[in-house]
Protein backbone atom coordinates (compact mmCIF):
# COMPACT_ATOMS: atom_id res chain seq x y z
CA UNK A 1 0.00 0.00 0.00
CA UNK A 2 2.78 2.37 -0.89
CA UNK A 3 0.69 4.78 -2.89
CA UNK A 4 -3.02 5.21 -3.34
CA UNK A 5 -4.70 7.97 -5.29
CA UNK A 6 -7.81 9.66 -3.95
CA UNK A 7 -10.37 12.02 -5.33
CA UNK A 8 -9.82 15.58 -4.09
CA UNK A 9 -12.66 15.31 -1.58
CA UNK A 10 -11.23 12.10 -0.15
CA UNK A 11 -7.76 13.66 0.03
CA UNK A 12 -9.31 16.20 2.35
CA UNK A 13 -10.62 13.58 4.69
CA UNK A 14 -12.64 10.63 3.35
CA UNK A 15 -11.24 7.17 2.82
CA UNK A 16 -12.89 6.00 -0.40
CA UNK A 17 -10.12 4.25 -2.28
CA UNK A 18 -9.47 4.01 -5.99
CA UNK A 19 -6.26 2.49 -7.40
CA UNK A 20 -3.53 4.77 -8.70
CA UNK A 21 -2.58 4.93 -12.36
CA UNK A 22 0.05 2.29 -11.66
CA UNK A 23 -2.67 -0.28 -11.08
CA UNK A 24 -4.60 -1.84 -13.96
CA UNK A 25 -8.23 -0.75 -14.13
CA UNK A 26 -9.24 -3.62 -16.43
CA UNK A 27 -11.40 -6.33 -14.95
CA UNK A 28 -9.67 -9.71 -15.44
CA UNK A 29 -11.46 -12.54 -17.24
CA UNK A 30 -13.64 -14.61 -14.97
CA UNK A 31 -11.54 -17.71 -15.59
CA UNK A 32 -8.25 -16.05 -14.61
CA UNK A 33 -7.35 -16.03 -10.90
CA UNK A 34 -7.03 -12.53 -9.47
CA UNK A 35 -3.60 -11.77 -8.01
CA UNK A 36 -3.26 -8.69 -5.83
CA UNK A 37 -0.84 -6.07 -7.08
CA UNK A 38 1.85 -4.99 -4.59
CA UNK A 39 0.52 -1.44 -4.97
CA UNK A 40 -2.99 -2.39 -3.84
CA UNK A 41 -4.26 -2.61 -0.26
CA UNK A 42 -4.12 -6.31 0.59
CA UNK A 43 -4.80 -5.90 4.31
CA UNK A 44 -6.85 -3.57 6.43
CA UNK A 45 -4.21 -1.24 7.93
CA UNK A 46 -6.30 -0.83 11.08
CA UNK A 47 -5.46 -4.46 11.93
CA UNK A 48 -1.70 -3.81 11.84
CA UNK A 49 -0.02 -2.43 14.94
CA UNK A 50 3.60 -1.30 14.97
CA UNK A 51 5.26 -2.79 18.05
CA UNK A 52 8.96 -1.97 17.60
CA UNK A 53 10.30 1.53 17.13
CA UNK A 54 12.61 2.06 14.16
CA UNK A 55 14.40 5.44 14.27
CA UNK A 56 15.21 5.20 10.56
CA UNK A 57 11.70 6.08 9.40
CA UNK A 58 10.24 7.03 7.03
CA UNK A 59 10.70 4.52 4.23
CA UNK A 60 11.34 5.71 0.68
CA UNK A 61 7.58 5.77 0.21
CA UNK A 62 7.08 7.94 3.27
CA UNK A 63 5.86 5.26 5.64
CA UNK A 64 6.23 5.43 9.40
CA UNK A 65 5.17 1.83 9.93
CA UNK A 66 1.55 1.79 8.77
CA UNK A 67 1.27 5.58 8.93
CA UNK A 68 2.11 8.32 6.44
CA UNK A 69 2.23 7.74 2.67
CA UNK A 70 0.88 9.81 -0.22
CA UNK A 71 -2.91 9.84 -0.43
CA UNK A 72 -3.20 12.55 -3.04
CA UNK A 73 -4.80 13.42 -6.38
CA UNK A 74 -2.57 12.53 -9.34
CA UNK A 75 -2.27 16.27 -10.07
CA UNK A 76 0.05 16.62 -7.09
CA UNK A 77 2.21 13.54 -7.57
CA UNK A 78 4.64 15.32 -9.90
CA UNK A 79 4.98 18.17 -7.38
CA UNK A 80 5.62 15.80 -4.49
CA UNK A 81 8.14 13.72 -6.42
CA UNK A 82 9.99 16.87 -7.53
CA UNK A 83 9.96 18.16 -3.96
CA UNK A 84 11.30 14.87 -2.56
CA UNK A 85 14.09 14.59 -5.13
CA UNK A 86 15.22 18.17 -4.55
CA UNK A 87 14.97 17.88 -0.78
CA UNK A 88 17.36 14.92 -0.85
CA UNK A 89 19.78 17.04 -2.88
CA UNK A 90 19.77 20.09 -0.62
CA UNK A 91 19.84 18.00 2.57
CA UNK A 92 23.56 17.34 2.07
CA UNK A 93 24.38 20.34 -0.10
CA UNK A 94 26.99 22.44 1.77
CA UNK A 95 26.08 25.61 -0.16
CA UNK A 96 22.38 25.34 0.75
CA UNK A 97 23.15 24.44 4.36
CA UNK A 98 25.60 27.32 4.70
CA UNK A 99 22.96 29.80 3.46
CA UNK A 100 20.28 28.32 5.73
CA UNK A 101 22.48 28.21 8.82
CA UNK A 102 23.65 31.76 8.22
CA UNK A 103 20.07 33.02 8.08
CA UNK A 104 19.05 30.95 11.12
CA UNK A 105 21.84 32.65 13.04
CA UNK A 106 21.66 36.23 11.81
CA UNK A 107 17.99 36.57 10.80
CA UNK A 108 16.14 34.16 13.11
CA UNK A 109 18.42 34.46 16.14
CA UNK A 110 19.51 30.87 16.70
CA UNK A 111 20.58 29.17 18.85
CA UNK A 112 17.76 29.96 21.27
CA UNK A 113 18.57 29.80 25.01
CA UNK A 114 17.98 26.82 27.27
CA UNK A 115 16.72 28.70 30.32
CA UNK A 116 16.63 27.31 33.87
CA UNK A 117 13.19 28.17 35.26
CA UNK A 118 14.25 28.60 38.88
CA UNK A 119 10.96 29.69 40.42
CA UNK A 120 8.95 27.18 38.39
CA UNK A 121 11.29 24.43 39.58
CA UNK A 122 10.95 25.65 43.19
CA UNK A 123 7.19 25.19 42.93
CA UNK A 124 7.74 21.43 42.71
CA UNK A 125 10.63 21.18 45.23
CA UNK A 126 10.31 18.71 48.10
CA UNK A 127 11.15 19.19 51.75
CA UNK A 128 14.36 17.16 51.39
CA UNK A 129 15.66 19.56 48.71
CA UNK A 130 15.02 17.22 45.78
CA UNK A 131 12.61 17.93 42.95
CA UNK A 132 12.54 18.30 39.18
CA UNK A 133 14.84 20.84 37.55
CA UNK A 134 12.83 22.54 34.80
CA UNK A 135 14.37 24.18 31.74
CA UNK A 136 12.61 26.07 28.94
CA UNK A 137 13.84 25.89 25.36
CA UNK A 138 13.12 29.48 24.38
CA UNK A 139 11.73 29.16 20.83
CA UNK A 140 9.53 32.14 21.73
CA UNK A 141 12.64 34.30 21.33
CA UNK A 142 13.00 33.50 17.64
CA UNK A 143 12.27 36.23 15.10
CA UNK A 144 8.44 36.28 14.74
CA UNK A 145 8.01 34.72 18.21
CA UNK A 146 7.78 30.98 17.61
CA UNK A 147 9.52 27.88 16.25
CA UNK A 148 7.60 28.08 12.96
CA UNK A 149 10.17 30.25 11.18
CA UNK A 150 12.77 27.43 11.25
CA UNK A 151 10.66 25.48 8.76
CA UNK A 152 9.27 28.41 6.75
CA UNK A 153 12.72 29.83 6.08
CA UNK A 154 14.13 26.49 4.91
CA UNK A 155 11.15 25.78 2.67
CA UNK A 156 11.29 29.19 1.00
CA UNK A 157 14.97 28.62 0.19
CA UNK A 158 14.01 25.25 -1.28
CA UNK A 159 11.11 26.78 -3.24
CA UNK A 160 13.49 29.28 -4.83
CA UNK A 161 15.68 26.41 -6.01
CA UNK A 162 12.61 24.80 -7.54
CA UNK A 163 11.84 28.01 -9.44
CA UNK A 164 8.50 28.55 -7.68
CA UNK A 165 7.09 32.09 -7.77
CA UNK A 166 4.07 31.72 -5.50
CA UNK A 167 3.95 30.56 -1.88
CA UNK A 168 0.81 29.37 -0.08
CA UNK A 169 0.38 28.34 3.53
CA UNK A 170 -2.29 27.53 6.09
CA UNK A 171 -2.34 28.79 9.65
CA UNK A 172 -4.34 28.33 12.83
CA UNK A 173 -2.78 30.40 15.60
CA UNK A 174 -1.22 32.61 12.97
CA UNK A 175 2.41 31.93 13.88
CA UNK A 176 3.10 29.80 10.80
CA UNK A 177 1.35 32.37 8.65
CA UNK A 178 3.41 35.20 10.15
CA UNK A 179 6.64 33.21 9.72
CA UNK A 180 5.83 32.42 6.09
CA UNK A 181 4.81 36.01 5.33
CA UNK A 182 8.04 37.18 6.95
CA UNK A 183 10.38 35.05 4.86
CA UNK A 184 8.39 35.81 1.70
CA UNK A 185 8.88 39.52 2.42
CA UNK A 186 12.58 38.87 2.95
CA UNK A 187 12.91 37.20 -0.47
CA UNK A 188 10.28 39.19 -2.38
CA UNK A 189 7.92 36.27 -3.06
CA UNK A 190 4.14 36.36 -3.43
CA UNK A 191 2.46 34.92 -0.33
CA UNK A 192 -1.12 33.75 0.22
CA UNK A 193 -2.18 32.47 3.65
CA UNK A 194 -5.42 30.57 4.29
CA UNK A 195 -6.91 31.03 7.75
CA UNK A 196 -10.20 29.98 9.31
CA UNK A 197 -12.64 32.83 9.95
CA UNK A 198 -12.98 31.81 13.61
CA UNK A 199 -9.20 31.81 14.04
CA UNK A 200 -8.95 35.22 12.36
CA UNK A 201 -11.19 36.64 15.07
CA UNK A 202 -9.24 35.21 17.99
CA UNK A 203 -5.85 35.91 16.36
CA UNK A 204 -6.55 39.40 14.96
CA UNK A 205 -3.06 40.63 15.86
CA UNK A 206 -1.38 37.98 13.73
CA UNK A 207 -3.77 38.66 10.85
CA UNK A 208 -2.65 42.29 10.86
CA UNK A 209 1.01 41.25 11.09
CA UNK A 210 0.66 39.04 8.01
CA UNK A 211 -1.03 41.80 6.02
CA UNK A 212 1.56 44.33 7.18
CA UNK A 213 4.25 41.99 5.83
CA UNK A 214 2.55 42.01 2.42
CA UNK A 215 0.75 38.67 2.51
CA UNK A 216 -2.80 38.11 1.30
CA UNK A 217 -4.83 36.49 4.08
CA UNK A 218 -7.81 34.57 2.73
CA UNK A 219 -10.55 33.81 5.27
CA UNK A 220 -12.05 30.32 5.21
CA UNK A 221 -15.68 30.20 6.29
CA UNK A 222 -16.46 26.56 5.52
CA UNK A 223 -16.92 24.02 8.30
CA UNK A 224 -15.87 25.23 11.72
CA UNK A 225 -13.72 28.02 10.25
CA UNK A 226 -10.55 26.71 11.90
CA UNK A 227 -7.21 25.12 10.96
CA UNK A 228 -8.68 21.98 9.36
CA UNK A 229 -10.70 24.02 6.89
CA UNK A 230 -7.80 26.37 6.17
CA UNK A 231 -5.57 23.41 5.35
CA UNK A 232 -8.21 21.97 3.04
CA UNK A 233 -8.53 25.28 1.16
CA UNK A 234 -4.76 25.55 0.78
CA UNK A 235 -4.67 22.06 -0.73
CA UNK A 236 -7.44 22.99 -3.19
CA UNK A 237 -5.38 26.01 -4.22
CA UNK A 238 -2.31 23.82 -4.74
CA UNK A 239 -4.26 21.37 -6.88
CA UNK A 240 -5.42 24.31 -9.03
CA UNK A 241 -2.01 25.98 -9.46
CA UNK A 242 0.56 23.19 -9.02
CA UNK A 243 3.25 24.42 -11.41
CA UNK A 244 4.08 27.87 -10.02
CA UNK A 245 3.11 27.19 -6.40
CA UNK A 246 5.01 25.81 -3.44
CA UNK A 247 2.88 24.89 -0.45
CA UNK A 248 4.67 25.42 2.86
CA UNK A 249 2.99 22.94 5.17
CA UNK A 250 3.47 24.19 8.72
CA UNK A 251 3.50 20.92 10.61
CA UNK A 252 4.78 17.35 10.41
CA UNK A 253 1.56 16.37 8.64
CA UNK A 254 0.47 16.00 5.02
CA UNK A 255 1.74 13.66 2.30
CA UNK A 256 5.34 12.48 2.02
CA UNK A 257 7.88 14.15 2.05
CA UNK A 258 6.36 16.86 4.28
CA UNK A 259 6.35 14.97 7.63
CA UNK A 260 10.01 14.04 7.16
CA UNK A 261 11.04 17.40 5.73
CA UNK A 262 9.38 19.57 8.39
CA UNK A 263 10.78 17.30 11.12
CA UNK A 264 14.28 17.72 9.72
CA UNK A 265 13.94 21.50 9.39
CA UNK A 266 12.80 21.70 13.04
CA UNK A 267 15.44 19.25 14.30
CA UNK A 268 17.72 22.18 15.15
CA UNK A 269 15.67 22.52 18.36
CA UNK A 270 16.62 19.11 19.75
CA UNK A 271 20.20 19.29 18.48
CA UNK A 272 20.70 22.54 20.36
CA UNK A 273 19.11 21.08 23.51
CA UNK A 274 21.58 18.17 23.43
CA UNK A 275 24.57 20.52 23.12
CA UNK A 276 23.23 22.98 25.70
CA UNK A 277 22.36 20.33 28.29
CA UNK A 278 25.83 18.82 27.97
CA UNK A 279 27.32 22.28 28.53
CA UNK A 280 25.05 23.09 31.50
CA UNK A 281 25.05 19.85 33.49
CA UNK A 282 27.17 17.39 31.52
CA UNK A 283 24.39 15.04 30.48
CA UNK A 284 21.12 14.59 28.63
CA UNK A 285 17.69 15.69 29.79
CA UNK A 286 15.66 13.00 31.53
CA UNK A 287 12.32 14.18 30.13
CA UNK A 288 11.35 16.21 27.06
CA UNK A 289 7.91 17.82 27.14
CA UNK A 290 6.03 19.64 24.36
CA UNK A 291 2.51 20.42 23.23
CA UNK A 292 1.13 18.51 20.23
CA UNK A 293 -1.36 19.69 17.63
CA UNK A 294 -0.02 18.67 14.24
CA UNK A 295 3.20 18.13 16.13
CA UNK A 296 6.10 20.11 14.59
CA UNK A 297 7.48 21.72 17.75
CA UNK A 298 7.35 18.42 19.63
CA UNK A 299 8.99 16.52 16.79
CA UNK A 300 11.67 19.20 16.52
CA UNK A 301 12.47 18.67 20.21
CA UNK A 302 12.15 14.86 20.16
CA UNK A 303 13.94 14.14 16.88
CA UNK A 304 17.56 14.17 18.07
CA UNK A 305 16.67 11.96 21.06
CA UNK A 306 14.71 9.23 19.30
CA UNK A 307 17.55 6.72 19.83
CA UNK A 308 18.04 7.71 23.47
CA UNK A 309 15.65 5.31 25.16
CA UNK A 310 16.64 6.65 28.58
CA UNK A 311 15.04 9.99 27.67
CA UNK A 312 11.25 10.12 28.13
CA UNK A 313 9.36 11.90 25.36
CA UNK A 314 5.96 13.33 26.37
CA UNK A 315 3.52 15.10 24.07
CA UNK A 316 0.60 17.09 25.50
CA UNK A 317 -2.62 17.34 23.51
CA UNK A 318 -5.63 19.61 23.99
CA UNK A 319 -8.39 18.00 26.06
CA UNK A 320 -10.55 21.09 25.47
CA UNK A 321 -13.66 20.96 27.61
CA UNK A 322 -12.91 17.39 28.65
CA UNK A 323 -12.25 14.02 27.03
CA UNK A 324 -15.70 12.89 28.10
CA UNK A 325 -17.17 15.54 25.79
CA UNK A 326 -16.84 15.87 22.02
CA UNK A 327 -15.18 19.26 22.43
CA UNK A 328 -11.49 18.39 22.45
CA UNK A 329 -8.55 17.90 20.08
CA UNK A 330 -6.94 14.85 21.72
CA UNK A 331 -6.26 12.92 18.52
CA UNK A 332 -3.70 10.47 19.91
CA UNK A 333 -5.82 9.83 23.00
CA UNK A 334 -9.25 9.44 21.40
CA UNK A 335 -8.67 9.20 17.65
CA UNK A 336 -8.87 6.30 15.23
CA UNK A 337 -6.97 5.39 12.08
CA UNK A 338 -7.86 7.36 8.97
CA UNK A 339 -6.62 9.52 6.12
CA UNK A 340 -6.55 13.29 6.41
CA UNK A 341 -4.75 15.84 4.24
CA UNK A 342 -2.75 13.28 2.32
CA UNK A 343 -1.46 10.93 5.01
CA UNK A 344 -2.65 8.01 7.09
CA UNK A 345 -2.58 8.75 10.80
CA UNK A 346 -4.81 8.91 13.83
CA UNK A 347 -7.62 11.42 13.53
CA UNK A 348 -10.88 12.46 15.11
CA UNK A 349 -13.50 11.31 12.62
CA UNK A 350 -17.07 10.14 12.23
CA UNK A 351 -18.16 6.67 11.13
CA UNK A 352 -17.80 7.70 7.47
CA UNK A 353 -14.16 8.72 7.89
CA UNK A 354 -14.91 12.45 7.70
CA UNK A 355 -13.01 14.73 10.13
CA UNK A 356 -14.85 15.61 13.32
CA UNK A 357 -14.91 19.15 14.62
CA UNK A 358 -12.03 19.59 17.07
CA UNK A 359 -12.00 22.10 19.91
CA UNK A 360 -9.24 23.81 21.87
CA UNK A 361 -8.85 27.19 23.50
CA UNK A 362 -5.61 27.25 21.51
CA UNK A 363 -6.01 27.90 17.78
CA UNK A 364 -2.73 26.08 17.09
CA UNK A 365 -3.94 22.83 18.68
CA UNK A 366 -7.47 22.98 17.27
CA UNK A 367 -6.88 20.23 14.67
CA UNK A 368 -8.49 16.76 14.34
CA UNK A 369 -5.36 15.09 12.95
CA UNK A 370 -1.72 14.63 13.91
CA UNK A 371 1.57 13.97 12.14
CA UNK A 372 2.09 10.30 11.16
CA UNK A 373 5.39 9.99 13.03
CA UNK A 374 3.64 10.89 16.28
CA UNK A 375 1.09 8.15 15.60
CA UNK A 376 3.97 5.74 14.98
CA UNK A 377 5.74 6.80 18.18
CA UNK A 378 2.52 6.34 20.10
CA UNK A 379 1.92 2.81 18.83
CA UNK A 380 5.54 1.75 19.42
CA UNK A 381 5.48 3.40 22.86
CA UNK A 382 8.57 5.46 22.09
CA UNK A 383 6.64 8.53 23.21
CA UNK A 384 3.83 9.10 25.69
CA UNK A 385 0.83 11.28 24.89
CA UNK A 386 -1.37 12.93 27.49
CA UNK A 387 -3.92 15.75 27.46
CA UNK A 388 -4.72 18.99 29.29
CA UNK A 389 -8.02 20.91 29.42
CA UNK A 390 -8.70 24.53 28.43
CA UNK A 391 -8.98 25.58 32.08
CA UNK A 392 -5.71 23.89 33.02
CA UNK A 393 -3.98 25.65 30.11
CA UNK A 394 -5.39 29.02 31.19
CA UNK A 395 -4.09 28.47 34.73
CA UNK A 396 -0.63 27.63 33.34
CA UNK A 397 -0.72 30.73 31.11
CA UNK A 398 -1.14 32.86 34.24
CA UNK A 399 1.33 30.82 36.28
CA UNK A 400 4.34 31.11 33.97
CA UNK A 401 3.63 34.80 33.42
CA UNK A 402 3.66 35.49 37.14
CA UNK A 403 6.52 33.35 38.40
CA UNK A 404 8.97 33.52 35.49
CA UNK A 405 7.98 36.72 33.70
CA UNK A 406 7.40 34.79 30.50
CA UNK A 407 3.99 35.00 28.78
CA UNK A 408 3.66 31.69 26.92
CA UNK A 409 1.51 30.92 23.91
CA UNK A 410 -1.66 29.02 24.77
CA UNK A 411 -0.15 26.07 22.90
CA UNK A 412 2.91 26.07 25.18
CA UNK A 413 0.64 26.56 28.20
CA UNK A 414 -0.67 23.03 27.68
CA UNK A 415 2.81 21.62 28.22
CA UNK A 416 3.36 23.83 31.29
CA UNK A 417 0.02 22.71 32.71
CA UNK A 418 0.99 19.03 32.61
CA UNK A 419 3.80 19.67 35.10
CA UNK A 420 1.39 19.40 38.03
CA UNK A 421 0.54 15.79 37.16
CA UNK A 422 4.01 14.85 35.92
CA UNK A 423 6.05 16.22 38.83
CA UNK A 424 3.81 14.53 41.39
CA UNK A 425 4.84 11.16 39.90
CA UNK A 426 8.61 11.77 39.78
CA UNK A 427 11.37 10.87 42.22
CA UNK A 428 14.75 12.52 42.69
CA UNK A 429 15.72 15.60 40.70
CA UNK A 430 15.23 14.79 37.01
CA UNK A 431 16.04 17.36 34.34
CA UNK A 432 12.92 18.35 32.38
CA UNK A 433 13.13 20.38 29.16
CA UNK A 434 9.92 22.01 27.93
CA UNK A 435 9.73 23.44 24.45
CA UNK A 436 8.47 27.00 24.90
CA UNK A 437 7.25 26.94 21.33
CA UNK A 438 5.86 30.47 21.11
CA UNK A 439 5.15 33.67 22.97
CA UNK A 440 1.69 34.62 24.17
CA UNK A 441 1.27 38.15 22.81
CA UNK A 442 -1.05 36.78 20.13
CA UNK A 443 -3.33 35.21 22.75
CA UNK A 444 -3.66 38.03 25.30
CA UNK A 445 -6.83 39.58 23.86
CA UNK A 446 -8.58 36.19 23.69
CA UNK A 447 -7.35 35.20 27.17
CA UNK A 448 -8.84 38.37 28.67
CA UNK A 449 -12.27 37.34 27.39
CA UNK A 450 -11.85 33.73 28.56
CA UNK A 451 -10.80 34.85 32.06
CA UNK A 452 -13.70 37.33 32.31
CA UNK A 453 -16.13 34.61 31.27
CA UNK A 454 -14.61 32.19 33.76
CA UNK A 455 -14.91 34.77 36.53
CA UNK A 456 -11.26 34.98 37.57
CA UNK A 457 -10.97 37.60 40.35
CA UNK A 458 -7.19 37.51 40.89
CA UNK A 459 -6.46 39.83 37.97
CA UNK A 460 -7.74 43.32 37.15
CA UNK A 461 -9.29 43.71 33.69
Catalytic residue numbers, as ranges: 148, 170, 437
What is the C-alpha to C-alpha distance for residues 324 and 306, in angstroms, rounded to an integer?
Answer: 32
Sign of CA dihedral 317, 424, 138, 446: positive
> Which ranges of 227-351 would DSSP assign to H, the alpha helix?
227-240, 258-266, 268-281, 296-302, 331-334
DSSP, collapsed to helix, strand or coil, labels residue 420 as helix
Output b/e per residue, 209-246; b: 16+ Cβ within 10 A: bbeebebebebbeebbbbbbbbbbbbbebbbeebeebb
Close Cβ partners of 397 (under 8 Å, ≥ 6 residues apart) = 407, 408, 410, 413, 416, 440, 443, 447
**Burial (CB count <10 Å: 0-12, 13-18, 19+), residue 32:** exposed
What is the C-alpha to C-alpha distance for residues 285 and 432, in angstroms, rounded to an integer?
Answer: 6
Sign of CA dihedral 336, 339, 340, 343: positive
Question: What residues does 164 pair with on adjacent strands?
Answer: none
Close Cβ partners of 239 (under 8 Å, ≥ 6 residues apart) = 8, 73, 75, 76
Amino acid sequence: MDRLAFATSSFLGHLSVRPSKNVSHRKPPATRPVVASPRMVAVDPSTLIDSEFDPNVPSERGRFGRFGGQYVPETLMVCLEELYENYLKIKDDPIFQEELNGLLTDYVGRPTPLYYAERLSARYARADGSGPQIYLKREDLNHTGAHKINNSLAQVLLARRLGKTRIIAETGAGQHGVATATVCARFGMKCIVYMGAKDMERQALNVFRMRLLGAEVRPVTSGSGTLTNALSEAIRDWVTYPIETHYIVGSVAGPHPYPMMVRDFQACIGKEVREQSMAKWGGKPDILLACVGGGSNAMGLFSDFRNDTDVRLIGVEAAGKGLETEEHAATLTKGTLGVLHGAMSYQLQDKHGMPSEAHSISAGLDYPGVGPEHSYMRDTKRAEYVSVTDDEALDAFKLLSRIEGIIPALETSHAIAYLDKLCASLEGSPKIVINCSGRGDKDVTAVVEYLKKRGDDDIEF
